[in-house]
Chains A and B, each alone.
Chain A
Amino acid sequence: AQSVTQLDSQVPVFEEAPVELRCNYSSSVSVYLFWYVQYPNQGLQLLLKYLSGSTLVKGINGFEAEFNKSQTSFHLRKPSVHISDTAEYFCAVRAPSGYSTLTFGKGTMLLVSP
C-alpha cells in the first residue's frame, strides 16, 4: 500500500514570489506520482505526472516537480506565482500495475496575495 504526506496544510505567498509545495510518499514498490489542482467547488485538474524517465517533470501553468527517489519526495515548484494560482493542490501516488488505487494526500492550500 502507498501513502502520501503533504507537510503543509497552507502556504501563503506574495504574487510573483517563488513557491514550493512539499510532498513525501511511502511505498514498498515503484510508483507513479501526480499533482492535481482543485479550484473552489470544482473537480481536480491534472498539473503534471511522473511515470518514468527524467526526474524533472514540467506541467501546465508553469509548474514543475522533481522526483527524488532517495528522499521519497515529489515537491511542486513554480518560480513566480499569480493570484490565479490560489487553489488547493493535491499530491497523489499509485503503483504502476493493475487496478491499483490512486492515493491522495490531504492537500495544500496555496494562498497568493498581492
Chain B
Amino acid sequence: EAEVAQSPRYKITEKSQAVAFWCDPISGHATLYWYRQILGQGPELLVQFQDESVVDDSQLPKDRFSAERLKGVDSTLKIQPAELGDSAMYLCASSFTNNQPQHFGDGTRLSIL
C-alpha cells in the first residue's frame, strides 16, 4: 500500500462541475508534487510545492486549476469548472527534499461525463 495517501480513489462528475482532490504526503517530506497522467501517457507535472510555497506551476492551467498546501503538509488540487479533457489519473508524490526520489500515491482517477 502506498505511503502517500490520496482521496478519493475514483471520482465521476459532470462537466462544468467543481472537483477536488486531497493528498497527504509522507510525514516529514517537504516537497509535494501533483501530476496528471492521461491514459497511455507518462505523468506530467502540474505543480510542485516546497513546504507551503509553490516553486513550479508553469504547466498548471490556472484559469480552471488551483492548488494549495496551506500548512506545508497536506494539499488540495481543485478544478472548476471541469472539462471533458480533464479525465485522467491525478497523482500526488512527495520527497524529503527536492533532490530525493519521489514517492507516489495510488492516485485519483477522474472521469468527466
By the criterion CB–CB under 8 Å, are A46 and B107 in contact? no
B44 at the interface (CB under 8 A from A): yes
Stretch at the interface among A14-22, A37-45, A60-68: A37-45
The reply to whether A42 and B106 contact each other, CB–CB distance below 8 Å, is yes
Number of interface residues of A (CB under 8 A): 21
**A25 near B: Cβ within 8 Å?**
no
A92 within 8 A of B: yes
- The verdict on A34 contacting chain B, using a C-beta distance below 8 Å, is yes
* Interface flag for A101 (CB, 8 Å): yes
Q: Check B42–A104 contact: CB distance below 8 A.
A: yes
Docked CA distance A98–B56 (Å): 11
26 A-B pairs with CB atoms under 8 Å apart are A41-B9, A41-B106, A42-B106, A42-B107, A43-B2, A43-B93, A43-B104, A43-B105, A44-B93, A45-B104, A46-B103, A90-B42, A90-B43, A92-B42, A96-B99, A98-B98, A99-B48, A101-B45, A101-B56, A102-B33, A102-B102, A104-B42, A105-B42, A106-B42, A107-B41, A107-B42
Shortest Cβ gap from A43 to chain B (Å): 3
* Top 6 A-B residue pairs of the complex, sorted by shortest distance between their CB atoms: A104-B42, A43-B104, A44-B104, A99-B55, A43-B106, A43-B105
Other than A43-B91, A43-B105, give 15 A-B pairs with Cβ distance below 8 A.
Answer: A41-B107, A42-B107, A44-B104, A46-B101, A49-B101, A90-B43, A92-B42, A98-B98, A99-B56, A99-B98, A101-B48, A101-B56, A102-B33, A104-B44, A107-B42
Chain A residues with CB under 8 Å of B101's CB are 34, 46, 49
